[in-house]
Amino acid sequence: MERRTIGAAALGVGAVGLGCMPMSWAYSASQRRGDRSLRTVHAALDAGVNLLDTADMYGPFTNELLLGRVLKERRADAFVSTKCGLLVGDGHMVANGRPAYVRRACDASLRRLQTDVIDLYQLHRADPEVPVEETWGAMADLVRAGKVRALGLCAVDARSARRGAPGGGYEGTIRQLERIQQVFPVSAVEAELSVWSPEALGRLLPWCAARGVGFLAAMPLGSGFLTGTLTPGGGFEADDPRARHPRFTAEMMAANQPLVAGLRRIAARHGADVTPAQVALAWVLSRGPHVIPVPGAKRERWAVENARAADLRLDTTDLAEIAALPAARGSWD
Ligand SMILES: NC(=O)c1ccc[n+]([C@@H]2O[C@H](COP(=O)([O-])OP(=O)(O)OC[C@H]3O[C@@H](n4cnc5c(N)ncnc54)[C@H](OP(=O)(O)O)[C@@H]3O)[C@@H](O)[C@H]2O)c1
């Protein structure tokens, strides 16, 4: 698989990563199977993926425990990205950026992941009660202590970007990035980026490109929508966030089908075995050499299919056709 580099330390990663979240969190809980997830991670590594993206709060904790079972055997094959700073409370999520908490969280992640170093440690959410420099300073100490190789920040203000915030959105994240860069170099930013959520292209992606900061594209398949395998009105399990997501109502899924149809048309031009999911990922890859999509998957078949998207090159006709697709309807807000 093509390699890409992130951050000032030029850390090498496969161009397509594996988002491990759906194995333990968020989507279709009844479909989670530990053994199948283990096979999926192994299959992704065999296919040339090395970046495994997890977080302590996926599960919570069980996603890291799952990866630990793989890393115990194949640490050298993997680049581990995990996150701290977001806790699952009683039915809601709470940020905790206190330095003492960050130190404890890192030690706990290392134990669960069965490794002595985390390749990329990301701040999942900045804590409004703690100056972000303090949290980042504690994370920088973890690098100095050899527990972590590089630091990243997750950006969460896609909603303001979608609402058409002046300047293209992500102002809050960029302000935070400017502040923490003064404390310790940022190696990667993780934020939503896909054909139906392109907002990060406005300011956030160029900010990263200008500073050699890697960009981990979360939700590159539009939480599964862009794969064309979800049926409008098919329904979601009660605890699946898509059951409450305005873009996943039967009406909006039907209204956004032209996006899937466009990806399908392009896929067909590239071969009978090329899928809309692969075109969606190839589009993300085409956004810059510092961009690494981390598609989530529970199934071995999908992880391998997604890894193969690294070999798909979209031409100018394909890219123009995607640019001309209608903007997605419905939003989080
Ligand atoms: N930093 C953050 O705040 C943040 C937020 C969200 C996500 N993330 C990261 O980004 C990763 C990706 O995002 P995501 O998992 O939310 O969304 P996604 O990658 O856009 O979509 C994942 C969904 O697509 C399905 N899928 C994957 N490959 C497929 C294929 N080839 N054909 C058909 N269906 C396919 C999966 O199904 P199954 O579930 O059935 O396998 C899953 O439901 C996460 O795993 C996580 O690591 C980070």
pLDDT at 234: 85
- For strands 214-218 and 291-293, give the pairing: parallel
**Mean per-residue pLDDT over the chain, rounded:** 94
Domain limits, the chain: 3-222+280-313
Residue 71 Cα to ligand 1 middle (Å):
21
Catalytic-residue membership of 58: yes
**Alpha helices for 20-131 (secondary structure H):** 34-46, 62-74, 99-113
Reference 219, options 198, 240, 236; nearest CA is: 198
What tens digit of pLDDT does each residue of 278-322 get?
A: 999 999 999 999 999 999 999 999 999 999 999 999 999 999 999
pLDDT at 288: 96
Ligand 1 site-directed mutation target among 67, 219, 259, most atoms within 8 Å of CB: 219
pLDDT at 26: 87
Minimum mean pLDDT range among 100-114, 161-175, 248-262: 161-175
Lookup: tokens for 151: 């630091």
Residue 121's contacts (CB-CB under 8 Å, 6 or more residues apart) are 81, 82, 83, 84, 106, 109, 139, 142, 143, 148, 150, 151, 152
pLDDT at 34: 86
Q: Is the pLDDT of residue 257 over 90?
A: yes
**CATH top-level class for 3-222+280-313?**
alpha beta
Tell the residue number behind the tokens 């923490």, with chain if given: 180
State the sign of the Cα–Cα–Cα–Cα dihedral 255, 256, 261, 264: negative
Q: Is the pLDDT of residue 323 over 70?
A: yes
Residue 97's contacts (CB-CB under 8 Å, 6 or more residues apart) are 85, 123, 125, 126, 127, 129, 130, 132, 134, 135
pLDDT at 64: 98
pLDDT at 90: 76
Lookup: tokens for 133: 């420099």
Residue 218 Cα to ligand 1 middle (Å):
8
pLDDT at 192: 94
Ligand 1 site-directed mutation target among 52, 302, 308, most atoms within 8 Å of CB: 302
